[in-house]
Structures are given as C-alpha cells and as structure tokens.
Amino acid sequence: MPTLNWIGKEAVINHHLQVPYRLIRSDDDASPGAAGAGNLLIEGDNLHALKALLPYYRSSIKCIYIDPPYNTGNQQWVYNDNVNSPEMRKWLGEAVGSEAEDLSRHDKWLCMMYPRLSLLRDLLRDDGTIFISIDDNEYSYLLCIMDEIFGRGNFVGTIVWKNVTDNNPTNISVEHEYVMCYAKRKDLLPPVWKSATLPVKDRLIEVGSDFINRYPDIQKRQETYTEWFRKNKSFLWPFDRYKYIDDGGIYTGSQSVHNPGKEGYRYDVLHPNGKPSTQPLMGYRFPWDSMQKLLNEKRILFGEDETKIVELKVYVQDYRSKLSSLFELDGRVGTNELKNIFPESKRPFDFPKPTALIEEILSFTTQGDDIVLDSFAGSGTTGHAVWKLNQQDRGSRRFILIEIDAQVARKITAERLKRVKASQSDSQLNLLDNEVPTPSFRYCHLDDPLFDEHGQIREVVTFSDLAHHIYFSETGVPLPKAVDGQRPLIGTANDVAYYLLWAGRGSVNVLDSVTLAKFKHAGPKVVYADKCRLTDSQLRRANVVFRQIPYSIKVN
C-alpha cells in the first residue's frame, strides 16, 4: 500500500510508545454531580492524556469524534511534541520560517497527529468508529495517514458538511467541510446503522394523537402545540422542524418539491386563489399523477399567494432516518448555541461545532452506556451532544473530553457542561416515560508519571494506580474492577492470577511461604513484590512467576 512520507515521520511513528504513563487525578471541587457517572473532562495535553487512559479504556471506546486544528496557516495551535531527534531539530530550526506559504507546516501537523491517532486506535472498540472534522488544507494528508494507521479497508466514508454560503465571486466558492470516518474493524459494523432517535419519533406520534383528541378546533390545537413545541424544541433533534399539526398528525413543511440538478416535470399547480403557483427552477421532482395524489391527500402546502413555490408536507410518522454523506447546517448554529449558554460573553469560543452535527453521528453509532471520546474538546460540544442525545432516547452514554488549554478547559468547557447540567436537571421535559440520568462529570488533571527520573515509583502513586498499570501491562486490557489494596489479588485473565504486594513507596513487601499459602488460585500466578524469599524450585512447584518492584514494571 502506498504510504506518505514527511519530515519527522521516523521520529514520531512510534512516539506514542515512548510517552510515559501518567496518572489522572480528579478535582472534586471542580466536579459537579455524582462521582460514578463515568463522564470525564481532562485538562492537559491529549497525547499524554490518551496514553494515561489506556490502562482503563483500551478497546473500550465505541465512538471517537475529534475536531483537530485545520492547519490553515493562521492558527497558533499549541500541540507540539518536541520530539528530540536531529531531523526534528533541523526542521524546527531551519524549515519553519515566516514565509507567507510555509509548506513545512504540513510536516508539523502530521507529526502532531500521527501519534495521537495511533493511541486513539488503541482505545477504540473493535466495532467502534472514529469521525474526524477536517477541511481541504489537510484532507488528503489525513486520508493517507488514516489508511496507514487504520487500514484502507476500514475506510467507511466521508460526510460533506455544507455549513456556509460563500458569496466570493472568484475561483471556486468553498461552502463545506468534511467529517472523515474510519472503523477499527469495518467487518464488525452493522449492515445498516439505525438512529437512536427513533424513540423520539414514536413519542411525537403519540403527542400528535393526544393533541388531535384533546383539541378538535384546529386553531386551538396548533396554538397549544406551538407552545409545547417551543418549550421542548432544544431536545427534539432531528425533529426540531416538526412545528405544525393538523388532522394527520405532527408535520414539517420545509420539504422541497423541486427537481435537483436536471430538468424535471412541468405542469401547473393551482393556488387556492385559482392562479398557477410559481414552478421550481428545474421543474417538479415527481410526475403529475404523484402530485395529484399528494393534493388529494392535502400533503401540499401553499404560500400566501401564487408567487410562492409549493412545499411538501412531511408527517413525523413518515420520517426515514439514515446517516447521509451530505449534512446541511449553517455553521453559525454552533456559535449561536454557545452565545445562548454564555449570554454575558460576545464570542466565548471561535468556531464551535453545532451539537446537531455530533448528535447526527452519535445517534447512529452509539446506544445504551457506550463511551464517546473527544480528545480535542474545545468548547465541549461533544459532551453537550451526548447529554442531549441521552435526553432524547433515555440512553446512558458517557463521554471523555480532553482539552489542552487550561483557561478553555475551566472557563468554557467545564462551565458549559455545568450550565447545561443545570438546565437539563431543571427541565420538565417529558418526551418519554422513563427517567434520564442526571448529568454530571469529573474534572481531572494529568498528574506525574508513575516513575521518577531514577526509575522509582513516585510517592503519589496509590495501590490502585499501580494495580491498573500492572494489569494492563500484563494483559493488554483494562482492569475490569476497582481495587483498593485490601487484598493482594488484582484480577485474573486466561486462568492467570495477578497479585500485587505493595503498601506504598518506602514499604518493603516480601513474597514468602506464609504469603504464598494465602493465595487461593490453583492455576498460574504472577506476583509483584519488592523481594522474594522463595527458591526457584519453590516458585516452579507453586506455578508462580515473581516480578520485582520496580524493575519488572514496564514503563511504556
């Protein structure tokens, strides 16, 4: 398979393996809600944060969405791994200049992205998917390194997000961005992704029937439904355009009848005033027989007069949900959402993604208590979208967000989540009957690595920290349950039991015959301790492999 080469690739291709495991500490004062909800916001460099998450979440993340720097040349993004190699020093010192068009910035961007994508793949479930927002600046390069890291056969597709109208009369107007999608193992994806928002559709059908029965007068029914819709609109995505109701139920009237791209059918549709309605530019997209049937069923909406083009009425029960390769949403929606959350600030964050974009992705790819990861969290759109989607389908999805900028993490990302939590907790929304988990999250910092510069375990390391690291290093999977040091058994995998004799730095923990007699596991055993007083023959008879702390503990 063809591969992409760039300055610094040799220095970063295995860089994620050399990154030390660091501890993750929760800041209880900055963490609202219950501790066990499973939502994390980590402040720190996402390269180190992703490595720190491996012992806990390897092959556990169902869906990853990231919005990395687009590298337009105007951004001062702060991700720099400072890889210490002669070629990287040469590149940083000589190739990066102040020229208007500095092509070496693509090398720098690739050096930043490659090790992070490698770690993200390790965290992804075998049936998981990763979605990456990008534009034309790095799309082609990203495609090449994703093929290399994830495999060309795991490319799922690219969503084109039409998010702006460009009135620039020169060259080609750019009115879109991309969302690239790869799978960990494409063969494990379902044949068809089904939207998790379908329970909201069912509930809206029930609401429509209820309003029809309670309000025979059409005007009163519409007025009452309009008030209900206004209160609940923010939770109704993707049904937040269904703001009308008649005898047929709840419907939207924004569906176009024009034929896109080529000449369609030509005929007159008479307005109620008796005059022909204005025809679409390329004609109608279905023949007269179909139009006549729609008119008889009262599925065609007319404007104020004949100068308006008619629209198609679509009832909520006719909604067909699918993940499309084309997503249309004004890019200013994300900015307006954030302004509504931070009314005191004119522009709290530049170019935030709209929650609807993330909801569109997550509604097809996640359900239940799946974990969603965003390692370029920014303003926290992904966390907000997870909570909104849980509101819609009563799911219990969890998120992990990582934000490198301390000011952004505390004053925008965390503050947004706190305000959204307060608004959702106070909401009287009753779209479905069962209860929604109260939103909460843990605010975390990256702490010191497990080991100091002398290779010794740091004083801040707890039994649980070391146990998680050892179990992951031995088995390649996260420790399945919490441990507190009350007993030495960490866990078992493939009939091998793992024990840790350790009471903190400065203690001396010895494996001897008395301790060995307390181990109940009959099969193979791996025991970590400071010292061992058993002979090699005694260890063989007991089916024990002894590993000495700290020398036998892997550091990367």
Confidence of residue 552 (pLDDT cuts 50, 70, 90): confident
217, 236, 255 - which closes a domain? 255
Residues 91, 6 contacting (CB under 8 angstroms): no
Q: What is the mean pLDDT of residues 285-309?
A: 88
Same domain, yes or no: 277 and 250: no
pLDDT exceeding 70 applies to what percent of the chain? 88
Work out the end-to-end distance of the chain between its first and last CA atoms, rounded to an integer number of angstroms: 29
In terms of residue numbers, what domain contains 274?
258-309
Q: Do 84 and 174 sit in the same domain of this protein?
A: yes
Of the pLDDT bands very low, low, confident and very high (cuts 50, 70, 90), residue 91 is very low
Task: Report how far apart, in Å, the C-alpha atoms of 272 and of each of 4, 124, 217, 276 are.
Answer: 63, 57, 22, 9
238 located within any domain: yes
Burial of residue 242, with CB atoms counted within 10 A of its CB: 0-12 exposed, 13-18 middle, 19 or more buried? buried
User: Does 452 map to a domain?
Assistant: no
Beta strands per DSSP E along 121-248: 124-134, 155-162, 176-183, 244-246
Percent of the chain with pLDDT over 90: 42
Whether residues 80 and 36 fall in one domain: yes
Tell me whether residue 319 is in a domain. Answer: no
CATH of residue 44's domain is: 3.40.50.150
| Confidence bin at 283 (pLDDT 50/70/90) | confident
The domain tally of the chain equals 4
Question: Averaged over 162-172, what is the pLDDT?
Answer: 74
Q: Which of 81, 135, 15 is nearest to 91 (CA)?
A: 81
For residue 68, give the amino acid letter.
P
Are residues 177 and 202 located together in one domain of the fold?
no
Mean pLDDT score of the chain? 85
Q: Is residue 450 part of a domain?
A: no
Query: DSSP assignment, residue 340?
Result: H
Report angle CA 88, 92, 95 to the nearest 5 degrees: 105
Asked whether residue 303 falls in the same domain as residue 353, the answer is no
Let me know whether 171 and 247 are in one domain: no
Residues 389, 288, single domain; the answer is no
**C-alpha 264, offset from chain centre:** 41
For residue 77, pLDDT over 70 is answered with no
Residue 258 carries which DSSP code? B
The pLDDT assigned to 428 comes to 40
Mean pLDDT, rounded, for 364-387: 94
CA distance 450 to 549: 12
- Kindly state whether residue 316 falls inside one of the protein's structural domains: no
- pLDDT surpasses 60 at 90: no
Which residue, of 284, 309, 334, is where some domain finishes? 309
Contact 362, 372 (CB under 8 A): yes
Looking at the fold, whether 23 and 169 belong to one and the same domain comes out as yes
How confident is the model over 88-116, as a mean pLDDT?
A: 60
- The verdict on 262 and 224 lying in the same domain is no
Handedness of CA 11, 12, 14, 18 (dihedral sign): positive
**Has residue 511 got a pLDDT over 90?**
yes
The answer to whether residue 508 is domain-embedded is yes
Residue 315 resides in a domain? no
pLDDT for 75: 55
Q: What's the angle, vertex CA 555, arms to CA 149 and CA 129, rounded to 5? A: 25
Asked whether 380 and 402 are in contact (CB, 8 A), the reply is no
Q: Are residues 72 and 210 in the same domain?
A: no
pLDDT of the residue at 551: 84
Does residue 151 share a domain with residue 15? yes
For residue 117, pLDDT over 50 is answered with yes
| Highest mean pLDDT, choosing among 89-98, 266-275, 446-455 | 266-275
Task: Report how far residue 358's alpha carbon sits from residue 384's, in angstroms, rounded to the nearest whole number.
Answer: 9
State residue 96's pLDDT score: 36
Q: What is the pLDDT of residues 33-48, one digit of tens each?
A: 766 668 999 999 899 9
Q: d(Cα 538, Cα 334) in Å, to the nearest integer?
A: 66
The pLDDT tens digits for 389-408 are: 888 777 889 999 999 989 99
Nearest to 468 by CA among 455, 456, 450, 454: 450
Name the more confident of 1 and 508.
508
| Domain termination site, one of 255, 272, 291 | 255
At 99, the pLDDT band (50, 70, 90 cuts) reads: very low
The model's pLDDT over 438-487, given as tens digits with 9 standing for 90+, comes to 678 889 898 888 888 777 888 888 899 899 888 988 887 778 778 888 89
User: Within a domain: residue 458?
Assistant: no
> Considering only 85-94, 350-359, 411-420, which range has the smallest mean pLDDT?
85-94
- Is residue 225 packed enough to be buried (19+ CB in 10 Å), middle (13-18) or exposed (0-12)? buried
Q: Which helix (H) or strand (E) holds 403?
A: strand 398-403
The band of 177, judged by pLDDT with boundaries at 50, 70 and 90, is: very high
Instruction: Give pLDDT, residue 76.
Output: 58
Q: Are residues 76 and 178 in the same domain?
A: yes
* pLDDT the model gives residue 264: 82
Q: And the tokens for 314? A: 């679509």
Asked whether the predicted pLDDT for residue 424 surpasses 70, the reply is no
Nearest to 275 by CA among 297, 303, 300, 298: 303
Q: Could you read off the pLDDT of 527-542 as tens digits, one per residue?
A: 999 999 999 999 999 9
**What is the bridge-based pairing of β-strands 176-183 and 124-134?**
antiparallel
What's the pLDDT at 331?
81
**HEC readout, 434-456:** CCCCCCCCEEEEEEEECECCCCC
